[in-house]
Amino acid sequence: MMRGTGLVNRLAMLIAAVGAAMFPLAPLHAEDGYDLWLRHAPLSAVDAQAARPYLGRGVQLLGEMSPTVKLALDELGQAGERMTGLEPSPHPALVLARADRLESGGYPSDPRLAGAPPGSYSIRAVRSGRILITAHDDLGLLYGAFALIRHIGVTGTVAGVEAFSAPAMPLRMLNHWDNPDGHVERGYAGRSIFDWWHLPEKLDPRMIDYARANASVGINAVVVNNVNARGFMLEPRYIAKLKRLADTWRPYGIRVFMSARFSAPRDIGGLPTADPLDAAVAAWWRAKADEIYASIPDFGGFLVKANSEGQPGPQDYGRSHADGANMLAAALGTRGTVIWRAFVYKAEDDTDRTMQAYAEFAPLDRQFADNVILQIKNGPLDFQPREPFHPLFGAMPKTKVMLEAQITREYLGQATGMAYLAPLWKEVLAADTGRGGTVAQIVAPVGMAGVANTGSDRNWTGTHFDAANWYAFGRLAWNPALTSDQIAREWTAQTFTRAAAPREAIVQMMLGSRETVVKYTSPLGLAHLMGTGHHYGPAPWVCDLERPDWNPCYYHRADAQGIGFDRTTTGSNALAQYAPAVANQWADPATANPRYLLWFHHLPWTHRMASGRTLWDELVTTYDQGVLETEARAQGWAALAPHIDPERHAAVATDLAIQRTEARWWRNASLSFWQSLHSLPLPAGAAPIPERLEAYQARTFPEAPGQ
């Protein structure tokens, strides 16, 4: 029998509490998840009467009726209709006011708005029981309206709604890896939401609902196409399509960006070269930028993946990343921004792959133009379930840098089960770089980008709980000081239930869910153990791929004696890329955080852990904990059936059953392979492995989505 954990026990207690709780249950109707966290569930009769003056279409407006303000009023009206089920109050008590119009209504100004960034808003209780939403710009009024709706949706009341809120980061962006043919790279929620074939003449109504969801959490920029870009998306016919999206999203405060193929002057422009220092190439990009801005005056700019995984770039011509980025930046001028991805590694470079981006970019600090942003992944490898923060954060103080996170769960089970990613992002944002602050402090002047998980599935994100990651990304980009717990409570109350006991049970399931996936896929700092190409399921045995750093064996380095990647001074010395104070925390296996142990150290299977167990026994125990936690989560969800509508409850139950199967598969296949190397027995009490290693190795998934 596998051994239990504290988390399993806590979940068991919550199951019992939910099962014992008695609530006056309202009739539950089927829901498909399309409304996301904007479903505006009805309030109780008492709460509806109390909220009625603050929701609905009778809002007093001080200022101009711009398209954005109209959206704010529409959102308040829709929320009022759904939450209260009542006619608008004959005595509305909500006022929306531009700060420059406050005097006309006799309302006091809020000094906190002075000098606040665009989109900031103030919500205050004023005379005669009124609530006043104030902002310097119309977008702030829209964000303030969403904040009021969110507060009522979470708490059921307007009490405590007073707040001042300003975005911590100016750029809060989604990156779509969507292709023009509708396929989504690393997408697990159906096909692309962008219907390029019918644009610009036909606009899918989902584009409006997508913009609403983004604006409700403060997302203000969208890259619409894959970083593995097609040159033809810069042609006039696609600029016209992009213009239709830009015009639709502009009232929601969303600017469009495009991934640009670096070789476009050669691919579609008829030039013999794409050398960034070639005058004709620079002129081609200037003309292209002028063409785009003539159609889309507020076009955000270009996202570029260059000289990475076979993509063209300036190094093809002996030029640097700065040469390439600055040439594009000059073409955009003050109108827009070039976002240059730092995800680079080369087939011919035998350096530890986690070190290559730092080696290429750190020497280029000070060399990038003012309108260039370097987009850096959260960790130095590739969106693994757990990585240490990227050493480039803090290492380029004279360069604008932003954080790139992955909302789509490429390495975290894809669209199965539950893996709430706010704790992952909080782990990174809170990391002290030792070079001028935390990651959050370093990226705050610029922003965050998230690789989107939205698709054509009716619920947008493949599973209902994957929507929590979209929501959490937006909330953290607006305010990285929010806790994972706060965000989970907000999302759960708006998405499933405000009732205390079932809401608490769901939140607790969410908070530990990412750690559970880490335990059964990549315990103790292991990484990149997934199957080839599809990145689905375990395949630590793969060691025959063309490139060494595509092989799982490159990363775990397991043999009969031990396991792990030595990145200390006796190995690749990747630790030297971190500030000394940070490197010292990970340098000694006796004191290193066990979460990163095998990321930085190659250790014997008999290495004694702080628990008193050997490393081998600790690995088995950790895998087993992950399996047990998936079992407990499935049981906890089953107990919630009386409190969740049947359609969504059944869908999530199915997802959790799949995750439970996958956790066992990961555990058994991985342990079988490790045993094939060292022949050590499983510790006493551990469940036997049901199949031979060859059976696990024979599994293939040519039809897996997202490839």
CA 478 to CA 120: how far, in whole Å?
Answer: 10
Pairing of strands 447-451, 562-563: unpaired
CA 649 to CA 603: how far, in whole Å?
Answer: 44
Separation in Å, CA 187 to CA 195, 333, 417: 16, 33, 16
Q: Tell me what pLDDT residue 127 has.
A: 86
Contact call for residues 472 and 478 (beta carbons, < 8 A): no
> Which residues of the chain, if any, have pLDDT below 70?
1-28
Q: Tell me what pLDDT residue 474 has.
A: 98
CA 587 to CA 111: how far, in whole Å?
Answer: 49
Residues belonging to the active site: 309, 382, 410
CA 589 to CA 596: how far, in whole Å?
Answer: 9
H or E segment to which residue 326 belongs: helix 321-332
Amino acid at 532: T
Pairing of strands 121-125, 131-135: antiparallel
Q: What is the pTM of this model?
A: 0.96
Question: Which of 490, 483, 482 is CA-nearest to residue 152?
Answer: 490
Contact call for residues 129 and 93 (beta carbons, < 8 A): yes
Angle at 204 between CA 203 and CA 206, to 5 degrees: 135
Q: Phi/psi class of residue 36: alpha, beta or left (left: φ > 0; alpha: ψ in -120 to 50)?
A: left
CA 189 to CA 186: how far, in whole Å?
Answer: 10
- Residue ranges of domains in the chain, CATH in brackets: 33-165 (3.30.379.10), 176-480 (3.20.20.80), 518-565+602-697 (3.90.1330.10)
Contact call for residues 392 and 366 (beta carbons, < 8 A): no
DSSP 232: G
Burial of 25 (0-12, 13-18, 19+ CB in 10 A): exposed
Q: Tell me what pLDDT residue 2 has.
A: 43
Task: Kindly report the three-state secondary structure assignment for every residue of 387-454.
Answer: CCCCCCCCCCCCCEEEEEEECCCCCCCCCCCCCCCHHHHHHHHCCECCCCCEHHHHHCCCEEEEECCC
* 3-state SS, residue 373: strand
Amino acid at 539: A
CA 405 to CA 411: how far, in whole Å?
Answer: 12
CA 466 to CA 471: how far, in whole Å?
Answer: 9
Contact call for residues 411 and 517 (beta carbons, < 8 A): no
Question: Which of 512, 482, 706, 523 is CA-nearest to residue 620?
Answer: 523
Angle at 500 between CA 498 and CA 502, to 5 degrees: 85
Q: Which residues contact 386 (CB under 8 A, 6 or more apart)?
A: 424, 427, 518, 522, 525, 527, 595, 596
Please report the beta strands in 277-371, taking only residues with DSSP state E, as ranges in sequence order.
Answer: 301-304, 337-341
Pairing of strands 301-304, 337-341: parallel
Q: Give the phi and the psi of residue 222 in degrees, each rounded to 5.
A: -140, 125
CA 502 to CA 508: how far, in whole Å?
Answer: 10
Query: Encoding tokens for residue 613?
Result: 């167990």
CA 96 to CA 526: how far, in whole Å?
Answer: 52
H or E segment to which residue 603 belongs: strand 603-604
Q: Tell me what pLDDT residue 447 has.
A: 98
* 3-state SS, residue 125: strand
Q: Tell me what pLDDT residue 1 has.
A: 36
Q: Tell me what pLDDT residue 204 has.
A: 97
Pairing of strands 255-259, 301-304: parallel
CA 606 to CA 622: how far, in whole Å?
Answer: 16
What Rg value do the Cα atoms of the chain yield, rounded? 26
Question: Which of 534, 535, 502, 532 is CA-nearest to residue 521?
Answer: 535
